[in-house]
Structure 1
Amino acid sequence: MRAEDRALVDRFADALAAEQGAARNTLLAYRSDLASAADVMGVLGDARAEEIGKLAGAWAELSPATLARRSAALRRFYGFLVDEGLRRDDPSGSLPRPRTVRPLPRILEPSEVDAMFAEAEARAASGEPLRLRNLALLELLYGSGLRATELVSLPFRALARPEPFLILAGKGGKERLVPISDRARTAVARWRETMPKSGTWLFPGGKAHISRVRLFQLVRAMAAEAGIAPERVSPHVLRHAFATHLLANGADLRVLQALLGHADIATTQIYTHVDASRLVELVNRVHPLARR
């Protein structure tokens, strides 16, 4: 990347961090996408339409999601340059615009989740520390809808207080309330009793906390023990189950958005596919015309 382009990217990243509180990983992703575009075009800040047109061919083999993300990064970058008076025109109209279809989340039936809990509880009854840990992990994934990173990085004293919730810093450092059930609190307390009292992490592993990859492996192993195909289950699938089962049992979409930590309710609305019949019944029951 040319030195002048690198300077523009630095200004852009500084603005995102200062004005919008963009997280470090977000800034790194923007820098990576902009560097990829510069490698293709040869220029970045003062690129013209014909140079931007090179991206369509060079990025033809990218997945629609990756192409959409890179194009979005460039649109935001050029919008910043125009707003700052660093260029007069916005060339982003020449960017490739893939049509992306948001995939429906994989879900588990309540009976399958019940089977996982029954097996995990039976194995934890032995008092074996790692079995107590696995049950605590499962309770927090399904009972609270935690993201994998949020779960593995919980500090040792998490859930030590009696409040029925945690305050977590999720994506972008945004705080949200996470519900903690009595079941989860009990499971965590039983697991903590087996650990040294001077620990740093609630779920230690090696020199730090267990990794997201290790959590993924543990969840799949628990699924297999319950007779469920492991490839159908992951920490994120259990988060999806938390959301879909709440919605199916009458949870408000805005409440669900807050519990999941979604910035945009459009992200939460994907869960409405799981129980269309309930939504139709709701309209038939509460719409004014239904009472005529």
Structure 2
Amino acid sequence: MDELIDQWLDFMRHNRGRSERTIQVYRLALTRLEEFLVEINRDWLAATHDDLLVFTGLWLHRKGLKDPLSRRPMVSAVREFYRWAAVRGLLANSPAAAVPYPRAGRKLPRVMTLASAEKLMWAPEFGSFNGVRDGAILAVLIGCGLRVSGLARLNESSIQREVIDNQPRLVLQVTEKGNKQRRLPVPEQAALLLGIYLEHPELKAIDRLLPDGDQVLFVSIRNRTVGEHEYRGENRRLRRGAVLAMIKKYGKQQGIPEEQLHPHALRHLYGTELREDEIDLVTRQRLMGHADPKTTEIYDHLAMRKVTRDVDRANPLAKIRTPASDLLRQLKANP
């Protein structure tokens, strides 16, 4: 059965273009499904629709996946696996075809505030190579709205130089979910910090060379995985977990609330600020790399500065005299 699972994962990786992160989630899902089928003494190809309903619902819930959103990737893996098995002729029909995705309300994402982002940008020690690297990473995350997976995959060739409005500018070619690519203009502040990082003598001393002649962009500093003689090229690439640990370290030093200390909170800040400045939906969708504009529209609910100014100006209380009107006027006059 392991060989069959590997064949399916290879199919999803190469034919469907699924990312390595998604492949890992799919493998975990089928490992859990195997555990369930052993419990009920059922062969993989003999599983019924009812079996899979129990697995994706009650069984996973009892195993700790109580949030419906956490079970959706499991349902996706089961449906895709059995559909593939049916297409290959291993089954007459897929028993998972009608297994429903769990319903869940859509939560608003947690966003890092501008004040927290400013504190974070000042946290690294720019007198050290580590600090220069971390400052460049934070600037790219905050200024370009990258997913951390996209940041970790950047190579030096991902940085492209163009002339825009008669000025030299940097553009990032980013590869993220489903190996989809997009190009993003780099803010001038981030471009400056990237340039300082790329010219740092300690970076120049690191072997970042890849087999295709490119070079890893953001490097790791501590080696805990390979022999010293292999600590070069792809093995020097900074991993997702290291970025998360870096944000948490600096955030705690700066007293930033725990719920904001995640790379995606920086991405949500980027999306929210685009909305605050009334960037049109199509442009925001392209910059964020969203396949569905409905995903981009969630930032309409997070952008509060402009809507607050609009409400202060247009709400009925602003147009009548109330017991609070004179006091409010005095408070604004003498802050």
Q: 1:203 aligned to 2:207? A: no
User: Which of 236, 248, 254 does residue 220 from structure 1 map onto?
Assistant: 248
Q: Is the 8 A contact 2:276 2:304 kept in 1?
A: no
Flag the 1:90–1:111 CA change in 2: closer, same or farther, 3 A. Answer: same
Aligned twin of 2:181: 175
Q: Is the 8 A contact 2:160 2:172 kept in 1?
A: no
Task: Give the Å deviation of 1:181.
Answer: 1.4
Task: Give the Å deviation of 1:106.
Answer: 1.0
Q: Is the 8 A contact 1:48 1:91 kept in 2?
A: yes
Flag the 1:29–1:183 CA change in 2: closer, same or farther, 3 A. Answer: same
Inter-partner Cα distance in structure 2 for 1:165 and 1:95: 43
Give the count of matched residue pairs.
273
Q: 1:250 aligned to 2:273? A: no
Aligned twin of 2:103: 99
Structure 1: gaps (5+ residues): 282-292
User: Which of 69, 86, 102 does residue 65 from structure 1 map onto?
Assistant: 69
Superposition pairs of residues 99-178 of structure 1, within 5 angstroms: 99-117=103-121, 119-120=122-123, 124=126, 127-156=127-156, 159=159, 161-162=161-162, 163-178=169-184
**What amino acid does structure 2 have at the position aligned with 1:234?**
H
Aligned twin of 1:189: 195
Inter-partner Cα distance in structure 1 for 2:116 and 2:246: 17
Q: Is the 8 A contact 1:40 1:54 kept in 2?
A: no
Flag the 1:21–1:48 CA change in 2: closer, same or farther, 3 A. Answer: same
Aligned twin of 1:16: 12
SS in 1 for 2:133: helix
User: Which of 256, 262, 269 does residue 241 from structure 1 map onto?
Assistant: 269
Q: 1:264 aligned to 2:292? A: yes
Task: Give the Å deviation of 1:271.
Answer: 2.0
Inter-partner Cα distance in structure 1 for 2:72 and 2:143: 33
Inter-partner Cα distance in structure 1 for 2:131 and 2:305: 38
Flag the 1:161–1:91 CA change in 2: closer, same or farther, 3 A. Answer: same
Q: Is the 8 A contact 2:25 2:73 kept in 1?
A: no
Task: Give the Å deviation of 1:93.
Answer: 6.4
**What amino acid does structure 2 have at the position aligned with 1:204?**
V
Inter-partner Cα distance in structure 2 for 1:221 and 1:51: 44
Flag the 1:100–1:202 CA change in 2: closer, same or farther, 3 A. Answer: same
Structure 2: gaps (5+ residues): 163-168, 209-215, 223-230, 311-335
Inter-partner Cα distance in structure 2 for 1:196 and 1:49: 55
- For residues 111-168 of structure 1, what are the alpha-carbon distances to aligned partners after superposition, in whole Å with 9 as ceiling and x for unaligned? 3323433x348x53xx443333232122111001122233244335654745431112
Task: Give the Å deviation of 1:45.
Answer: 2.7
**What amino acid does structure 1 have at the position aligned with 2:199?**
E
**What amino acid does structure 2 have at the position aligned with 1:37?**
L
Inter-partner Cα distance in structure 2 for 1:220 and 1:90: 44
Inter-partner Cα distance in structure 1 for 2:275 and 2:98: 41
SS in 1 for 2:46: coil
SS in 1 for 2:290: coil
Aligned twin of 1:229: 257
Inter-partner Cα distance in structure 2 for 1:231 and 1:51: 37
- For residues 164-199 of structure 1, what are the alpha-carbon distances to aligned partners after superposition, in whole Å with 9 as ceiling and x for unaligned? 311122122211112211211111112233234253
Task: Give the Å deviation of 1:84.
Answer: 5.2
User: Which of 26, 29, 33 does residue 33 from structure 1 map onto?
Assistant: 29
Q: How does the TM-score come out when normalised to structure 2?
A: 0.68
Aligned twin of 2:314: none
- For residues 67-126 of structure 1, what are the alpha-carbon distances to aligned partners after superposition, in whole Å with 9 as ceiling and x for unaligned? 222122222333344555554444336746432233321112323323433x348x53xx
Flag the 1:24–1:110 CA change in 2: closer, same or farther, 3 A. Answer: closer
Greater shift, 267-276 or 79-88, is seen at: 79-88
Task: Give the Å deviation of 1:37.
Answer: 2.0
Inter-partner Cα distance in structure 2 for 1:180 and 1:258: 14
Percent identity (aligned):
27
User: Which of 240, 261, 274 does residue 302 from structure 2 map onto?
Assistant: 274
Q: Is the 8 A contact 2:78 2:96 kept in 1?
A: yes
Q: Is the 8 A contact 1:220 1:234 kept in 2?
A: yes
Q: How does the TM-score come out when normalised to structure 1?
A: 0.77
